[in-house]
Amino acid sequence: MPHAPEPDQDDLDTIAPPQPVFHVEQALLGALLLDPHRLDDVSGIAADSFSTAAHAALYCAITTLPRPDPAQHAKNTQWLDHVLATSREQARGLTASYLHTLVQVCPWPCHAPAYARMVEAEHARRRLQTAAERLVHAVHDASLPHPVQTALAEADALAAVVDDIANRFPPRAGALPRTTAPPPPAAPDPTEAVEEEQILLATATAYPSDIDAARWLLPDDLTLPLHAGLWQCLTTLARRHEPVDPVTVLWEAQQRGLLDHGSEPGEVLGILAEPAGSVEYWGERALQRSLLATAEHTGRRIKAYAGDPANTPFQLVVGARRALADIAAVRTRWQHTTEPLSCPPPRRRAAPTTRAGPPTTTAAHAARTTRATR
C-alpha cells in the first residue's frame, strides 16, 4: 500500500530551494537596512529588479523614505519600523523578524555595490527571457491579422532589451554562450507548406520569365531539401538563359545529386506538373513562412541562453545579437518584397524595327495577348 503522510507532515521535497539571486537580494537589503547611506553607492536597479514581491516592496520603501540620522539609527529601530509599515502596504506578509534576518545574513554591508550589480545582472537575464518568450508567442498567435508585422515588432523590442543590457554590461570579445541552441522548429502546418511550395516550383517551371521577379527567395526559405534543390535548379537555368521545362529541370536535378536521396524522377516531374497563380505570390508565401520560422528559432535560442543562469550578461548580449542577425537578413529580403523602393518611371523605349510582313489579324493579336498575360 502507498505510504499515506501524516496530517501534520509537510512535503518539503516539493518546495524548490531559492536561487542564488534570492540570497544576493537578502544581502543587499540587509546592507541597506543596516546602513541606509549606502544607497549612494547602489545604482542600476529599481524595485522591479528584485525576484520577489516582498523584496521589491522593501527596496521601494528603503529608497522612498527619508534616510535616518546615522546616530539615531544606531540607537533605535524607528526608521526600520517605518520601512516595515511602508513595505507591508505592498507585501502584507512581511514581518519584523524577516527584517532582522536580512540584517543578520548580510556578510559585509560595504559590499552593497557588488550585490546590486548581481541583482542587476539577474534582472537583465529575466528581461531577456521574457522578451524572447513574447517573440515566440507572437509567431504562434493565430489570431493576429498581420503576423509578420507583429513578429518584427517583437523582434525590435527584443533587440532594444539587448541594446540596453549591452549598455549596462558591455560585451567582451569572444564571450559566447555555453548553452546548446535548440534545433530549428518544424513548420506549423507542413502539409500546407509542402503543397504551396510544389505549386511555386510548378509555376516557375511553366513561366520561367517570372523567376527573376522572385530573386529575393532563397533555397533555404523552402521547407524540404528537395524543394530547395529544385528552386536552385530553376534559378540556375533561368540565369543561364537555358530552356526551362519539367525535363530540363529534372536533368539539372540529377546533375546536382538531388535524386541520390530517394527521390524518383516521376516524383520530380509530378511536382512540376501543376502550375497555378503567380511565382511572386507563392514565393512571398514561402518567404513569410521562412521569416516566421526564423523569428521563432531566434526567440527560442535567446530564451535558451537566458534560461541558463551560468551565462553572464556579456555572453547573453553576444549570443542574442548573433541570433537577431538571422532575422535581420530575412527581414531585408521581406522588405524588398513587400515594400519596393520608389524609383523614377522607366523611360519609354522606341518600338523595335521589324521587317515587313503580313498584316496582323485580330485573331493572331488576341492569341499573343492571351499568351502574354498567362
pLDDT in tens, 3-43: 554 544 444 455 678 889 999 999 999 999 999 999 999 99
Same domain membership, residue 71 and residue 199: no
In-domain check, residue 300: yes
Same domain membership, residue 153 and residue 24: no
Average pLDDT over residues 41-58: 94
Q: At which of 77, 107, 137 does a domain end?
A: 107
In-domain check, residue 80: yes
In-domain check, residue 278: yes
The more confidently predicted of residues 97 and 341 is 97
Q: For the chain, what is the mean pLDDT? A: 85
pLDDT at 229: 95
Same domain membership, residue 137 and residue 65: no
Same domain membership, residue 98 and residue 174: no
Burial class (CB in 10 A: 0-12, 13-18, 19+), 28: buried
Same domain membership, residue 193 and residue 74: no
> Is the separation of the CB atoms in 350 and 188 below 8 Å?
no
In-domain check, residue 361: no
The band of 174, judged by pLDDT with boundaries at 50, 70 and 90, is: low
In-domain check, residue 191: yes
> Is the separation of the CB atoms in 54 and 93 below 8 Å?
yes
In-domain check, residue 6: no
H-helix segments, the chain: 20-34, 53-64, 70-75, 78-87, 96-105, 112-140, 147-168, 190-206, 225-239, 246-255, 265-271, 279-306, 313-338, 362-372
Over 60: is that where the pLDDT of 287 sits?
yes
In-domain check, residue 370: no
- Number of other residues whose CB lies within 10 A of the CB of residue 346: 6
CATH label of the domain that carries residue 132: 1.10.860.10
Same domain membership, residue 146 and residue 60: no
In-domain check, residue 347: no
Domain that holds residue 103: 18-107
Same domain membership, residue 303 and residue 173: yes
In tens, the pLDDT along 93-119 reads 999 999 999 999 999 999 999 999 999
pLDDT at 177: 81
Four-CA torsion 222, 223, 224, 225, nearest 10 degrees: 60
Q: At which of 62, 85, 107 does a domain end?
A: 107
pLDDT at 261: 77
6's grid cell: 501524516
Domain count within the chain: 2
